[in-house]
Amino acid sequence: MSSPLPEIVVVAGIIPDGHDRLCLSRRPEHKHQGGLWEFPGGKVEPGEALDHALARELHEELGLDAVRSRPFLTVRHRYPDLRVTLHFREVTAFTGEPHGREGQPVEWVPRTELSARAFPEANRPVAVALQLPPEWVIPPEDLDEATVIAGLGRLDAARQGVYLRGWSTHPGVTAACRERGLRFWVRNDAALATREGAFGLHLNGPALARAAEEGRPAFDGLLSVACHDATQIAQAMAVGADMATLSPVRATPTHPDASPLGWQDFQELVAGNPLVFYALGGVGPEDLATAREHGAYGVAGIRGLWPGV
């Protein structure tokens, strides 16, 4: 009988500089995943609060003080020789200039260049999440086009993206998204997504099943998929999806017969899968911190997120 893999808990900081750059450090060659770039941090001591652990590690590694942070994303990953839970936290304040106190290279890297760096596999969902809004808004389909366009004008492009779903084929709606600088996703049609300049393509359940048989759609942007169970998450991994919605977290009027997952089952389903997950179903912006504590990056929905609903 093989011995169980060792397990560690790590906290890491997403440290911005105010100029759309993030602080990265390179792991020493002799350490696990040596030579790769990472978000700075280290092991959490038994009983240690995550914010205190990150402040301690960033002082020891980078010489930073007065560190304040909030949850960003939790990733649970299994390497061939190690299980690791990584709590990524967004650093909101610090003093000092980061430098490698242990001799490690440290750089400020533009957010747009993160994809060019070689990260440990467990860090990759974070590199994707840093391109994404924490709220994924779905416009209701029982409105008229003028009302939808007006609602788009009340969204915040910095923190909200839009899944157009039934509005994907309405040129006036896609044009409004572009004019307002909103990142938007269209449903199922890769050619349409390319033609409209969509940020993402979102596959519903039947389209995901087809992609699992035929291969990833021909679209250069971000690929998102809808998941409800472990089988669909496996399909998402097989087609090389970048992000996924997982639902329903809670019961919703839209799908009254669906059994809600609850946060514990949600966490168990996402654990170990290197995708950026959004919690969908009966959630709103007030659930963002809870979602992040259970392995999601963001929240998605209609009623809880669309202005005026």
CA distance 284 to 302: 9
Beta bridge partners of 95: 65
Q: What is the pLDDT of residue 7?
A: 81
Which class is domain 7-122?
alpha beta
On the question of a common fold for 7-122 and 135-301, the answer reads no
Beta bridge partners of 108: 23
The 10s digit of each residue's pLDDT in 213-237 is 999 999 999 999 999 999 999 999 9
pTM, entire model: 0.83
Mean pLDDT for the stretch of residues 104-122: 87
CA distance 50 to 39: 15
**In 3-state terms, what secondary structure has residue 155?**
coil
CA distance 30 to 96: 28
CA distance 223 to 13: 26
Which stretch of DSSP H or E encloses residue 52? helix 50-62
Which pLDDT band, with edges at 50, 70 and 90, does 28 fall under? Answer: confident
Mean pLDDT for the stretch of residues 50-66: 96
Q: Where are the domains of the chain?
A: 7-122, 135-301
Which pLDDT band, with edges at 50, 70 and 90, does 77 fall under? Answer: confident
Q: Which residues contact 274 (CB under 8 A, 6 or more apart)?
A: 75, 77, 121, 122, 124, 125, 237
Q: What is the pLDDT of residue 123?
A: 78
155: Cα separation from own chain's centroid: 19
Exposed, middle or buried by CB within 10 Å (0-12, 13-18, 19+), for 131?
A: middle
CATH of region 135-301:
3.20.20.70
The answer to whether residue 3 scores a pLDDT higher than 60 is: no
Quick one: residue 171, left, alpha or beta (phi over 0 = left, psi -120 to 50 = alpha)?
Answer: alpha
The closest alpha carbon to 38, from 129, 104, 96, belongs to: 104
304: Cα separation from own chain's centroid: 19
Q: At what angle do helices 205-214 and 230-238 cross, to 10 degrees?
A: 50
The 10s digit of each residue's pLDDT in 284-294 is 999 998 998 89
The edge-to-edge listing of strands for the beta sheet with 41-43 is 41-43, 7-14, 82-95, 65-79
